[in-house]
Amino acid sequence: MDALTRKAYELRRDILEEVYKSGSGHVGGDLSVIDILTVLYNEIMDITPENFGERNRDHFLLSKGHCVDALYMVLGDLGFFDKQEAKDTFSAYDSKFIGHPNTDIPGIEINSGSLGHGLALGVGMAIAGKMDGMDYRTYVVLGDGEMAEGSNYEAMMAAGHYHLDNLCATVDLNGLQISGTTDQVMSTADLGEKFAAFGWNVIHVEDGNNCAHLVEAYHKAEACKGKPTVVIAHTVKGKGVSFMENNKSWHHGVMTEEQYKQAIADIEEVLS
């Protein structure tokens, strides 16, 4: 197993501990996006605890903010704060590690969780970078259910209009949102065509939980000039835990002790 895949599975184990202990969290979406976050933070982006206070470093916005529990584990792992503290206090009364991203936490750049805002903010950051002659890149991660928010389409239009080749969106396309499939609740189908219509470079990753394939896609995105890029990552919600995969109940389901043990066993089997 390569190092990034191992890291993503170790982080899956951290996420399961965190959400089990807290009795809350969005475990299905965490497990679908964790490979994307692992690859971006460990292989692609220039964002570290040391350079976080500077402006000319890459920028990351988790627009599907309900999956902050996954982001906490990634940032904790990189030393932005004590990962154990985040794991032990996630969502607890008076904890700073609340259930959606907020900028009081080192490494978090925007408050999010009200879906549909991250891409517009990313467009603004990308325009600002160009205006000020900076070479940073801005990365935004969105959910496929989130793509039902109309604000995204205005942001897509502006990104195409301004040729923001320093902007890279990723859609975590797991086919599910809060209460059912995206097709049932609000179809966001043919997303690639929608982005292309607004002048974006579109890259599909057919196995969006495959770290090596994601790395390749982000390198292609970096090489694309004159257009923003969207990486459409075809993922599995609940990836890695047998009884959670493709099951809408795990959007924010709470595990019993027995389910928790099974979930950890599934992850340990991959790691062994």
Of residues 175-214, those binding ligand TPP (CB under 6 A): 176-178
Cα 33 from Cα 87, distance rounded (Å): 18
64 binds ligand TPP (CB under 6 A): yes
SS3 248: helix
* Residue type (1 letter), 233: A
> Containing H/E element for 268?
helix 257-271
Of residues 149-178, those binding Mg ion (CB under 5 A): 174, 176-177
172 binds ligand TPP (CB under 6 A): yes
Dihedrals phi, psi of 219, to nearest 5 degrees: -65, -40
* 114 Cβ contact list (under 8 Å, min separation 6): 65
Choose among ligand TPP, Mg ion, none what residue 116 binds, the Cβ cut-off being 5 to 8 Å by kind: ligand TPP
Of 101, 122, 145, 253, the residue at the interface with Mg ion (CB under 5 A) is: 145
164 within 8 A of 223, measured Cβ to Cβ = no
- The per-residue DSSP string of 160-194 comes to HHTT-TTEEEEEEE-SB-SSSBHHHHS----HHHH
164: left (phi over 0), alpha (psi -120 to 50) or beta: beta
Of residues 213-242, those binding ligand TPP (CB under 6 A): 237
Q: From the CB of 145, what's the least distance to ligand TPP, in Å?
A: 3
Total residue count of the chain as it appears in this document = 272
The nearer residue to ligand TPP, 37 or 217, going by C-beta atoms, is 37
* Residue type (1 letter), 63: S
Of 84, 103, 114, 256, the residue at the interface with ligand TPP (CB under 6 A) is: 114
The nearer residue to Mg ion, 176 or 221, going by C-beta atoms, is 176
| Binding-site string for ligand TPP from residue 120 to residue 149, where x marks contact by CB under 6 A and - marks none | -----------------------xxxx---
Chain residue at closest Cβ approach to ligand TPP: 143
Q: From the CB of 135, what's the least distance to ligand TPP, in Å?
A: 30
Binding site for ligand TPP (CB under 6 A): 26, 28-29, 32, 64, 66, 113-116, 143-146, 172, 174, 176-178, 237, 251
